[in-house]
A and B are shown apart, each in its own frame.
Chain A
Amino acid sequence: MNIIETKGLRKDYALGSTTVRALRGVDFAIEKGDMVSVVGPSGSGKTTLLNIIGCIDDATEGSVRISDQEVTGLTDRQITDIRLHRIGFIFQTFNLIPVLTALENVEFPLLLMKKHSKTEVRARAEKLIEEVGIKEYMKHRPAELSGGQRQRVAIARALVTNPDIVLADEPTANLDSVTGEQILELMEEMNRLEQTTFIFSTHDANVLKYAKRVVKIRDGLIVKE
């Protein structure tokens, strides 16, 4: 079953009087439980593709279906709810809430859902914190954590709501190679344990070995899988 499907996806940006075509008609599908790496040089459109799949950006033309639901043309509120319930994000710069502890950062999406009791939220967050290996740092704020530790918190936060997909944009770009390897191993383990679909963008060759599938993009079009 395809967890993500795009058809004829186009994205144009207006830069003054010039129009930049970031995506030129992308047809793309990902199965549930897949671990896909989208690669391409800078300016190829890989970040734009991930943003549109992640409902962070709108397509100029085309269709995007997540779990068989069309997500183009929805209201801001509907899109936000899809992000909350179905998509997890891991950013290049971690983007944790600086005033919350590691544990509270992981709890944050669950608290936004307002579906679970505080006890359930806490239990789920602590389980994930333990799984990503930073249990002893859970009461620390992001400023007190290393890059690798922050990224582990981001991974736990991305997984806490049991999303259909996790999008990771250059997840190891700000990490040393050893830590980056550890993060990728963790993502691989989460993919295996939770059957969560991972899509990450990278132009780091070392990262590619962890992907089950590699999609190459250039000049706004998929050139090779």
Chain B
Amino acid sequence: MGLITKIAWRNIQRHKGKSLVIGSILFLGAFVMTIGNGVISGMDRGLQRNIVEGFTGDVVIVSDKQESDNVFLEMMGKAIEPINNYTAIKPVLQKLDYVDRFLPAGKNAVMFLSEQASNPSFTLPIGVDFEQYQKVFPNCLKPIEGRLLRPGERGVLVTTGARKEFYNFSGVWCIPESCTVNYANMDKDARADSVGLTIKDNLVFMGMGSDNATTDVRVGVKGIVRYRALELIFGHFSIIDIESFRECLGYVSAAERAVEVPQETKDLLSADESSLDAMFGSDAISTGVSSAEKTAPMPAAAPATEGQPASPKKVDVDAGAYNVIMTFFKDDVNLDKGLKRLNQDLKDAKTGARAVTWKKAFGAIGSMAVLIKAALFLFVMFLFFVAIIIIVNTLSMAALERTNEIGMMRAVGARKGFITAMFSGETAMLSFVFGGMGIVAGFLVIAAIPLFHITTDNDMLQLLYGGESFTPLLSAMDIGLAIAQLTLVTLVAMVYPAYVARSITPLDAISRD
């Protein structure tokens, strides 16, 4: 064993009290740092699972005309620019080898109308083809009353959060069609007010189009649902079928795109208003079609023959407008690199669309996740700082108490470097033993926590947990980070005490005698 190591180890054993004090601080510091790193990693993973996999995807594609990246939580539900050329964007995305799956959706604010309320309120439904939604976001919605939407069906799935908002605003309690009131799920206030309560199984939404024209759409409530996690945040977003959404917002719907518009009508619609002469020339666009014909309703489906239903027109749901495309990268794709590539590919294909990260698309929540991480990190650094102060104080006192010993060493020929190495060796040894124990203890606690299934309904805690249950996680990098933090604490803490020790002269030892 080297001389310094021998002296350091024996001094630790000789000064057991001080060694225990410093060791305990290092143990606690390393333990808390490891737990903190585990909580942060668990939160990251949980947010990844619940927000990314449960709601937004890795990135969200929006129109180039969209000004704000915060498309989900913009205050007052500012209108999101429509994407009218999804049929052109879809094949581009399908060809990209780094894109795993994607879901186009409508997202905008609409007003919820009720006879019971004098003023309308806003709500934020997400319009989707529900069959596609379930493929891209499997098992993210759970019906607690009624059922989920069937393929191609029109209707709305109202979240428990939205139902509560509707009740608070208008006194309307909505239930699924063909269901009775489930009083167990009813709000306390609503239950108390059950006599005067208005029960509805369909809702009227009013949207405003780009031409400021409004459209009312009545949709049947098919189910009351909960998101898998973060219900208070996601609970603002009920799920509505895409065609109802489009009609409400005055978007081009898939059904409209499916209509065969005669060429004359197309030409008329696309004619330049200034070419009045052209309208009346021999090549007139209009051929004297009567106004009744111009405003004739869409041709109805062929009448049903006896015993057979009317043949519906086949509609490509993707032909209509959307607002966002939630997109997942493949597992091995780095988010920042994937985003950069996707934006380049969208630009090269002249899609008129761009992609933003889920954090930017989710505005305040993305920022809040960063804030919570920063707060946790600051707490760990604060402990770090306190640990350094205590260790510096204890070691400095220890150095002064050993003035005779250190002074004698200097007298017989030990250089200042030897004294520094001796003191550093003692601190490093304590750090390795006790700090190492702290990291191991932290690792064991992190591994054991999921076994207790700690869950919460509180949404701030859910953000901290990264979901409903507390599942901190330690990767090799987190353990490496804890070791680096411990090393830094040790190095910083030994600077001043080592300086005190090396400043002791042989004369100090003799003078004390």
A interface residues, Cβ below 8 angstroms from B: 47, 51, 54, 56-57, 76-77, 80-81, 83-85, 88-89, 91-93, 95-100, 104, 108-109, 111-113, 157, 161, 169
Contact = CB atoms under 8 A, between A and B. Distances in A.
B405 to A, nearest CB: 6
A123 B10 CA distance: 24
Instruction: State the majority secondary structure of interface residues on B.
Output: helix
Interface of B: 3, 6-7, 10-11, 13-14, 404-405, 407-416, 418, 505-507, 509-510, 513
A85 B413 contact: yes
A89 B412 contact: yes
A56 B505 CA distance: 8
B3 A111 contact: yes
A110 to B, nearest CB: 10
Given A97-B7, A99-B7, A51 B415 contact: no
Nearest to B407: A95
Nearest to B414: A112
A161 B507 CA distance: 21
A92 B511 CA distance: 12
B11 A84 contact: no
B433 to A, nearest CB: 17
A85 B6 CA distance: 23
B510 A108 contact: no
Nearest to B502: A76
B407 to A, nearest CB: 8
A77 B507 contact: no
A92 B513 contact: yes
Given A92-B513, A111-B3, A97 B409 contact: yes
A80 B412 CA distance: 8
Contacts of A47: 510
Given A92-B513, A93-B513, A100-B7, A112 B412 contact: yes
A112 B11 CA distance: 19
Which 3 pairs between the two chains have the least Cβ-Cβ distance? Answer: A84-B413, A99-B10, A95-B408
22 contacts: A51-B510, A54-B411, A56-B510, A76-B416, A77-B415, A81-B413, A83-B413, A84-B414, A89-B411, A91-B510, A95-B404, A95-B405, A95-B408, A97-B405, A97-B408, A98-B14, A98-B405, A99-B11, A99-B13, A104-B6, A112-B414, A169-B510
Most A Cβ at <10 Å: residue of B404, B414, B418: B414
